Amino acid sequence: MARMKFLCDADRCIECNACVTACKNEHEVPWGINRRRVVTINDGLPGERSVSMACMHCTDAPCAAVCPVDCFYTTEDAVVLHSKDTCIGCGYCFYACPFGAPQYPRVGNFGTRGKMDKCTYCAGGPEADMTEAEYVKYGSNRLAEGKLPLCAEMCSTKSLLAGDGDIIADIYRERVVTRGYGSGAWGWRSAYGETVSV
Amino acid sequence: MTIFTKMSRVIAVLALGLFAMIAQPQASQAQDIINPTAESVTEDALMEALNGDAQVQGRVSIPDDLSSGLIKPANRGWADTHGGPVRTVNLIAVVGMIVLLVAFYAIRGKIRIDSGPSSERIQRFSATERFAHWLMAVSFIVLALTGLNLVFGRAVILPVFGEDAFGTLSAWGKIAHNYMGFAFMLGLILSFVYWIAHNIPDKVDMHWLSKGGGLFVKGVHPPAKKFNAGQKGIFWSVTLGGAALSFTGVMLLFPELAGGEAGWQLYQVIHGVVAAILTAIVIAHIYIGSVGMEGAYDAMGSGEVDLNWAKEHHSLWVEEVQGKSSDGTDDGSARPGTQPAE
Ligand code: HEM
Ligand code: SF4
Ligand code: SF4
């Protein structure tokens, strides 16, 4: 099985936010929650770069380490998913995540923040694949259909790459060598404990 | 790494600080290569420029400022602390204390009233004092159990009860923890007000401590006032530890008050560690107040204790209350209804 990863080639990202929109639409993500976002660094200054960021599906996922109810699990494709039935909305995973990926329907922590929501790598949740129950809680399950995450698939500049970590790293490396520059595999060090060396 | 990336890194670091086009001698070396990213930010440079717990920060166009933090490498540090040392401290404190108490019980056994139970009883705690104590005690036990569930539940309860039951239990536990906190704070304030006057350390405590409180040798009973040095220790642990738990607990409940993510994480670790230590102390307190000592429970149960028990464990206090009542000089500092049983 593949070790799925995301890689955002910031030298190609044009901050169109289509990935953000496509994700919201594909999974009917509720108001106020964005599973993916585009962050612009040094906005308006020379050398500004935009990075599309969501859950990176970490190696040794810190969210899973702190969850008091242990509701995270890692699939065969190394995708980090969680069970909304078990989640108690304590918010610990937000503080553990290096990318601010986990989000909640409510702010504050009194009572509960509600069931945590985050990027599923378009791989659904613990319910049976491609069922209504799965769709309502986690959105569609494109991986089960043999497709890759929609955000990366529809990215017009092919800045956002999704797929087997080795393959997308090779694609990125080739780009950097060919064009002669690259601002880095954003987030890889924090997520996977390694970076793409060129 | 090619010479090229090495160079572009050096250039990027420089460009970070100097966005104005200040001619640098080093930069001139790169001028013969067309490089549209000469001034581009790179992840490496930004990560190196991070100090401490800061995050790589940018701008987002969606209306949610919280999501403008791109990478927060320090969060893994908190996750490691929470999933590691905080759990270890809890395990050592709670299990360690239980092991110690079982050993103590096995060696010393139940501490009996040496002179045997008397026929007389003496009022020790009024109904209001007992209310404050039990408000604090019941809420503390609920808080400690639901808190420990957050730390050990996934290792201990989940495998036994399964995901559904454990999820439901933890969800209720979280709600109980949130609300009981306020009952605990009220109990803490009341008991502080009622008992602070009796808990100022003095010379008697030094003597009591030097005799080990008579806990380890049969028949030894160093004099003590209303509270002996050990009880004063419990009082101050609960007061200070409880205050720390209350403060950090409220910060955890209302993250906007906690001063950012790093602040919340710090309060969380303090909350977890102080809770572990205080729980261990309170387990010892529960032991000595129940199975560990004959006659002790009555003080908080009915409020009346056996006179012989009182003379053995709180000799100066007995003299004080009996002396006072017999001269009829009740200066108001005596507890309401504190009279020797005739
Ligand atoms: C006095 C007011 C208190 C408040 C407002 C409070 C609040 C909280 C909150 C908000 C959490 C985070 C977890 C969650 O959201 O469910 C928490 C965790 C915890 N609390 Fe409290 N708490 C209080 C007192 C106590 C006391 C008295 C104890 C026990 C001895 C305790 C033990 C714990 C433990 C062990 C945790 C888990 C820590 C961890 O996960 O590492 N708390 N508390
Ligand atoms: S990016 Fe965040 S939510 Fe996703 S696996 Fe890593 S720690 Fe968990
Ligand atoms: S919010 Fe839910 S998923 Fe996140 S740590 Fe708490 S219980 Fe686990």
Average pLDDT of every residue of chain B? 85
The complex's ipTM works out to 0.91
Q: Write out pLDDT tens, residues A40-50.
A: 998 888 888 99
What B127-133 contacts at long range (C-beta under 8 Å, 24+ apart), as own/partner pairs, is: B127/B303, B128/B190, B128/B194, B129/B191, B129/B194, B129/B195, B129/B303, B129/B335, B130/B300, B130/B303, B131/B190, B132/B187, B132/B190, B132/B191, B132/B194, B133/B187, B133/B191, B133/B300
Number of domains in chain A: 1
Q: Residue B141 domain-assigned? A: yes
Q: Residue A32 domain-assigned? A: yes
Partner residue opposite A34 with nearest CB, options B2, B47, B64: B64
Residue B30 CA to residue B33 CA, distance in Å, equals 6
Q: What is the per-residue pLDDT for B296?
A: 93
Q: Residue B83 domain-assigned? A: no
Q: Residue A117 domain-assigned? A: yes
CA distances from B100 to A180, B107, B277 (A): 66, 11, 14
At residue A51, the 3 state secondary structure works out as strand
CB within 6 Å of ligand 1 — which residues? A 90, 109; B 82, 86, 140, 143-144, 147-148, 150-151, 174, 177, 181, 184-185, 245-246, 249-250, 252-253, 271-272, 275, 278-279
Residue A39 CA to residue A41 CA, distance in Å, equals 6
Q: Residue B95 domain-assigned? A: no
The residue among A121, A83, A87, A86 whose CA lies nearest residue A101 is: A121
| Residue A178 contacts B where some CB pair is shorter than 8 Å | no
| Residue B6 contacts A where some CB pair is shorter than 8 Å | no
Q: Residue B13 domain-assigned? A: no
Q: Write out pLDDT tens, residues B17-38.
A: 444 444 444 444 444 555 566 6
Ligand nearest A55 Cα, by number? 2
Distance (Å) from CA A123 to ligand 2 centroid: 15
Q: Do A95 and B174 touch (CB under 8 A)?
A: no
Q: Residue A157 domain-assigned? A: yes
Residue that has been written with the tokens 């003080």 in this structure: B299
At residue B67, φ and ψ (nearest 5 deg) are -85, 5
At residue B117, φ and ψ (nearest 5 deg) are -65, 145
Containing structural domain, residue A137: 4-192
Q: Residue A108 domain-assigned? A: yes
Percent of chain A with pLDDT over 90: 84
The residue among B242, B234, B259, B289 whose CA lies nearest residue B110 is: B289
Q: Write out pLDDT tens, residues B99-119.
A: 999 999 999 999 999 989 888
What's the burial of B55, exposed, middle or buried (CB within 10 Å: 0-12/13-18/19+)?
Answer: buried
Q: Residue A98 domain-assigned? A: yes
Distance (Å) from CA A180 to ligand 1 centroid: 53
Ligand nearest B270 Cα, by number? 1
> Mean pLDDT, to the nearest integer, of B326-340?
44
- pLDDT of B256 above 80: yes
**Quick one: pLDDT band at residue A174, thresholds 50, 70, 90?**
very high
Task: Choose which residue among B143, B169, B268 to substitute to test ligand 1 binding: the one with the highest number of ligand atoms within 8 A of its C-beta.
Answer: B143
Measuring from atom 7 of ligand 3, which residue has the nearest CA?
A: A87
Residue B50 CA to residue B60 CA, distance in Å, equals 20
- pLDDT of A69 above 90: yes
Q: Write out pLDDT tens, residues B137-163.
A: 999 999 999 999 999 999 999 999 999
At residue A27, the 3 state secondary structure works out as helix
Residue A149 CA to residue A20 CA, distance in Å, equals 12
Classify A163 in phi/psi space as left (phi over 0), alpha (psi -120 to 50) or beta: left
| Residue A129 contacts B where some CB pair is shorter than 8 Å | no
| Residue A96 contacts B where some CB pair is shorter than 8 Å | yes
Residue that has been written with the tokens 């536990």 in this structure: B173
**CATH code: domain of residue B190:** 1.20.950.20
Q: Do B43 and A47 touch (CB under 8 A)?
A: no
Closest-lying ligand 1 atom to the alpha carbon of residue B90: 35
Closest-lying ligand 1 atom to the alpha carbon of residue B184: 1
**CATH code: domain of residue A54:** 3.30.70.20
Question: A58 CB contacts (<8 Å, ≥6 apart)?
Answer: A80, A98, A190, A191, A192
Q: Residue A120 domain-assigned? A: yes
Number of domains in chain B: 1
| Residue A51 contacts B where some CB pair is shorter than 8 Å | yes
| Residue B126 contacts A where some CB pair is shorter than 8 Å | no
Q: Residue B79 domain-assigned? A: no
3-state SS string for B13-39: HHHHHCCCCCCCCHHHHHHHCCCCCCC
Give the pTM: 0.87
Residue B297 CA to residue B281 CA, distance in Å, equals 17
- Residue scoring higher pLDDT (B223 or B325): B223
Residue that has been written with the tokens 């929650």 in this structure: A33
Q: Residue A88 domain-assigned? A: yes
Q: Is the CB of A99 under 6 A from ligand 2?
A: yes
Ligand nearest A101 Cα, by number? 2
Q: Residue A198 domain-assigned? A: no
Q: Write out pLDDT tens, residues B264-291.
A: 999 999 999 999 999 999 999 999 999 9
Q: Do A48 and B164 touch (CB under 8 A)?
A: no
Cβ-count burial B266-279 (b if 16+ within 10 Å, e if not): bbbbbbbbbbbbbb
Q: Residue B240 domain-assigned? A: yes
Containing structural domain, residue B257: 126-327
Q: Do B42 and A183 touch (CB under 8 A)?
A: yes
CA distances from B291 to A97, A115, B102, B111, B220 (A): 46, 43, 11, 9, 19
- Residue scoring higher pLDDT (A180 or A145): A145
